[in-house]
Amino acid sequence: MADLVHVLPLQSVSDEAQEALSKIEYLEGDSATKVKEYDGVVRSFWEVNQLYEQFRWNYGELRRLVPCDRSDFLPDGFTSGGFGERTVVNAAFGNYVSAARGLVDRMQAVMRVYDRGSEKELYKKYWKLPSAWYDRGGLYVFMYEIRNPVQHGQTVVSLVRENGLIRVRFDLDQIADLRDYNTSPKLRAFLSKSISIMKERDSSGCSYLCFRYTNMKYQELVLKLFCHFLDCAEPRIRAVRRDMKKLLSQHGKAVGKLGGISFVAYRDGDITHVFNEVDVDPVKDLKDIRRKAQKHLKDVQNAVTAERRSIR
C-alpha cells in the first residue's frame, strides 16, 4: 500500500482512470478527514512492515556474505568478489545494522502516533522493552549506537589472521578510539565497562566481542520489538478500519473501481487524493504478518540458545 503513494498531474492520469474518477462522488468534510486518518495509520503500518522485510533481507545477506562459523572464522577459500575481505565484511555489517536502526526508529516514531498518550498497559510494555535494554547498557546499546559511526564511514569490524584463517571480530579497544568521530556517551560507557570486564578476566588478552553471536542476538531483540509493535498496532488499525467500513457503507457512490481495485477520492485544495484498496482488510494482513513474525522469532530464539551453548 505504501508503494501506491504517487503525485501526478490529473492530465497525466490515464483516460480509464479519469473516467473512473468522473463516476464517483468525492468525499468532503469529516469523511475526507477520516480517510486521511485511515491512510496515515495504515500506510505507517505498511512502511514499518517494509522496513522489517528489508531488515530480514539484510541479515540474510550478512550471513551469506560473511559465512563465519561459531568461532567467527571465515571458511577456507572465502571469496569476496574481487574486493578486500575487510570491505565486504564491513559493508555487509553496515547494511544490516543500518536496516535494524531504521526499523527500530521508525517503529518508535509510528508508536508515538498510535498510542496518543495512552495509559494502556499494552503500550507501556512496548516502551519498556527498548528502554530496559538501553538502560542496562548491554549488547542492544552497542548495536543500536554503533550504526552512527558506521554511517559516518568508520570500519568497526576487525579481521584477524589466526592459524592461516581469517577471524572476524569487534575489537572494542579499536572502536573506543575511533578517529575523527565522537561516539555517544552510552556507547562509550558500554565499551569502557566491557573492556574492563574482559581485562579483569584476562589482562593479556584482546577485548574482542563475538561477531556472529552478537548479530544473532541483536536480530532476536529487534524481532521481539517488532512483534510487540504489531500487538500495539492492532487496536489502532482495528479502530480506523471500523470507521472506514462505516464510512463506505454510508457513501456507496463514493467508491469507484479501476482494474478490479476499489478506491475513494477527496480534494484538498487543487490536489485530488485517491486512496486505493479500500476493500482490503489491514487487520487480517496484520494478523498474518504477526503469525509469521512470531514463528520467525521463535526459530531465531532457538538458534540463539543453541549458539550460546556451543560457544561456552
Q: Is residue 67 part of a domain?
A: yes
Q: Is residue 131 part of a domain?
A: yes
CA distance 151 to 311: 30
The top-scoring range by mean pLDDT among 5-9, 141-145, 274-278 is: 141-145
Cβ(26)–Cβ(10) below 8 Å: no
What total number of domains does the chain contain? 1
Lowest mean pLDDT among 143-152, 199-208, 215-224, 289-298: 199-208
Q: Is residue 139 part of a domain?
A: yes
pLDDT of 255: 92
Cβ(27)–Cβ(254) below 8 Å: yes
Cβ(297)–Cβ(227) below 8 Å: yes
pLDDT at position 10 over 70: no
Model pLDDT for residues 124-169, shown as the tens digit of each residue: 888 888 888 887 879 999 999 999 999 888 899 999 999 889 999 9
Q: Which domain holds residue 61?
A: 28-250+281-310
CA distance 20 to 16: 6
CA distance 94 to 146: 9
Cβ(77)–Cβ(54) below 8 Å: no
Residue 223 amino acid letter: L
Model pLDDT for residues 30-81, shown as the tens digit of each residue: 999 999 999 999 999 999 999 999 999 999 999 999 999 999 999 988 877 8
- Which of the two residues, 18 and 4, has the higher pLDDT score? 18
For 215-227, what is the mean pLDDT? 97
Q: Is residue 246 part of a domain?
A: yes
Model pLDDT for residues 17-39, shown as the tens digit of each residue: 888 888 999 999 999 999 999 99
pLDDT at position 271 over 70: yes
